[in-house]
Structure 1
């Protein structure tokens, strides 16, 4: 009985303290600069696609989620700077493991993995990203260099450390 009272006292003591955790939808932490999220295809400054349909990204993909169907460029309908272009470029995001091998394999820097991580969809068909979806810019969620994601206010650190006696390395007050 005494142990239960001690447990409830600890619960009631922490009940009225401000929580340390942040709520996700209201507060979104900035992502790291090397974070690998949603894929993005790029264009040259003149508007031509950087992807030449070489399929090296599909060959490097360990989960086999990239499908590239190349076609020849014609003089009257120029799509990319090379001889060929990707007529069909699809990435099945349900199979992708976000390893970044496609980005490393591309000799023209046509595909990169951005910072967008909210990729949930209602149906599986919506998880197959087409070339037009990959060419459009995703929502900007670039990391801020001024914000440190591990920057915790000093009063929170003091509050948490105050629960422990660091000099003797004992448990928090009331804990056994």
Structure 2
């Protein structure tokens, strides 16, 4: 097909000194004041930032708080009386895309009741060499036993040290909590625990621990809390009864 003369660029004749060359520079040389100002203009961005507020965080000397929903180290939570929320269902391990969680469940017994219901997490491990902090395990947990803290400093000298065990992940004992194992609060079910009906340690629980583990360090504070809760409950019940009789 013949090419249209409209689309064809004329070829230069042989020996034409005006023909473009690949060696021809496309940058026009600076002249006059532009030649003098050019070195200074290169520092324009640097000079403009000298007068802006400093935003650099001087970590670790200055620590900036993380966001409330930051995905940090995991935590195994407890109920108000000290029983563990984990029921050993292994859903967190199954949903983990990095295979970073290992759980072994076991049955609760009358002498070793670690969580409300039938089962508890006997072994719980999280390998932080694999964890991608996606929080899918948090969404899968049916009892809100597993949550994420704002702690992000997880570096360590050994690889084995980055495999956290259950005792590393358990939440600290709160004021008035009684260390497990111990029986559930009287006349309650695991559903009552989940719905927040259990608000603290009961005298029956502290009496059981006093009989089986009298040297438990959490017993004195738990006993005081149990007495306070029992007195408050009794006064509330009496006031409600009196109000009903008045009506």
2-structure distance, mates of 1:96, 1:78: 30
Instruction: Determine which structure has more spread, i.e. the larger CA radius of gyration.
Output: 2
Structure 1 counterpart of 2:158, from 123, 144, 147:
123
The answer to whether structure 1 residue 72 and structure 2 residue 140 are counterparts is: no
TM-score, scaled relative to structure 1: 0.69
Pick from 119, 127, 150: which aligns with 1:92? 127
Q: Which residue of 2 aligns with 1:61?
A: 96
C-alpha separation in 2, matches of 1:102 and 1:122: 27
Q: Distance in 2 between matches of 1:88 and 1:12?
A: 58
Q: Normalising by structure 2, what TM-score?
A: 0.50
Q: 1:13 to 1:130 in 2, by over 3 A?
A: same
The structure, 1 or 2, with the larger RCO (C-alpha pairs under 8 Å, 6+ apart) is 1
Q: Does 1:21 align with 2:56?
A: yes
The equivalent of 1:39 in structure 2 is 74
Question: 2:45, 2:135 → 1: CA distance?
Answer: 46
Aligned partner of 2:225 in structure 1 is: none
Higher helix residue share: 2
Summarize the Cα distance change of 1:9–1:71 in structure 2 as closer, same or farther, 3 Å threshold. closer
CA contact (8 A) 2:127 2:164 kept: yes
For structure 2, list consecutive stretches of 5 or more residues without a partner in the other structure: 1-34, 173-247
RMSD: 2.2
Q: Where does structure 1 lack aligned partners over 5 or more consecutive residues?
A: 138-176
> Could you tell me how far 1:4 is from its partner in structure 2?
3.6
C-alpha distance after superposition, 1:118-166 (max 9, x if no partner): 11111110110000000044xxxxxxxxxxxxxxxxxxxxxxxxxxxxx
Give the 3 Å change call, closer, same or farther, for CA 100–14 of structure 1 in structure 2: closer
**What's the CA shift for 1:12?**
7.3
78, 81, 84: which one pairs with 2:116?
81
Task: Quote the offset at 1:19 in angstroms.
Answer: 3.8
